[in-house]
Structure 1
Amino acid sequence: MTTVYDFSATRIEGNEQSLADFRDQVLLVVNTASQCSQTPQYSGLQKLYKTYRKQGFSVLGFPCDQFGHQEPGDENEIANFCSTIYHVSFPMFAKIDVNGSKTLPLFNWLKREQGGLLGGRIKWNFTKFLIARDGSVLARYAPTHTPEKLADKVGAALAVPAPSRRESND
């Protein structure tokens, strides 16, 4: 079974990161943009992250410029915007595509796992995928579903213990 831990992505700083580094955490994977009507959700995402990170939760932000050219900056500009304006401290990744032939493999998998109401395509910035500790996709949320509305869902996912791994004696 494929899980989120089978993927990697480039961090906004330029280094490759295996998502296995987040094993046993509850994750909220979000495609973001700096010039969108939904951009203020960065504040709510940061609040969720600060509230739950010590319990094993992380937000993973993936900037995307596919919707209305609302993420025109390069990685340095995006990182500066997120840290200066919204004080984002959760992991941010390099700008990606979430639809089309250049889609990051992680997002192809997310869309297959949770297709959404009108099929697999992501329709706008700030679409969110909630990932369980076992790496499976629990739910997909529309851009208008604010981070504040997700607190109970994140709390419920965190209440489920991480799967136990068998030790190998080989």
Structure 2
Amino acid sequence: MTETSQEMPRLLADSMLGRLARWLRFLGYDTLYISMLSDHQIAARARAEGRIVLTRDQELSRRRGIRCLYVHADTLEEQVREVLAAIGDPPPGVESRCSECNSVLTSVAPEQARPHVPAYVLAAHRQFHHCPECDKYFWAGSHWTRIRSTVERVMEHRDGGAARTVPMDGPSGPKPSGKGGSLP
């Protein structure tokens, strides 16, 4: 099911794969996740939007009329490996997505982030990203370091030793204003 064109596949994760959806967003994949959709609603949405359904539900995976990837793996790292093996790696330079709402993040200047991030973060970082949908701010903090490490470990095991480099300037850490949720 590997995509041959440069266009990245659009995904829809079912209610059993919320953590996987967030991690695919970190990698830049357009990954819709709405936990309360029925199988019928998932199938209809996938058809309407041309999305590949990611599921651990065997019944849903056998539905006709939708592209589906049944995820066999139990652990998050194995799930990411399995999905990437099926759909391919994201192309270089792909835009990051908000881990909460799936919107494309925009780069913002430190001056624009200043009212929204703690002073110590502003002093330590020069690159910030903003989600225009949920109004959260992200930066390459300790969360991003852990995310990068996990992605490199996933890619290393999947590729048999050739680790993929993940840029350190990627976003991390939701705005600490009470609006943000915790990252995995």
TM-score normalised by structure 1 residue count? 0.30
More strand by share: 1
Instruction: Indicate the structure whose relative CO is greater, using CA pairs within 8 Å and at least 6 residues apart.
Output: 1
TM-score normalised by structure 2 residue count? 0.28
More helix by share: 2
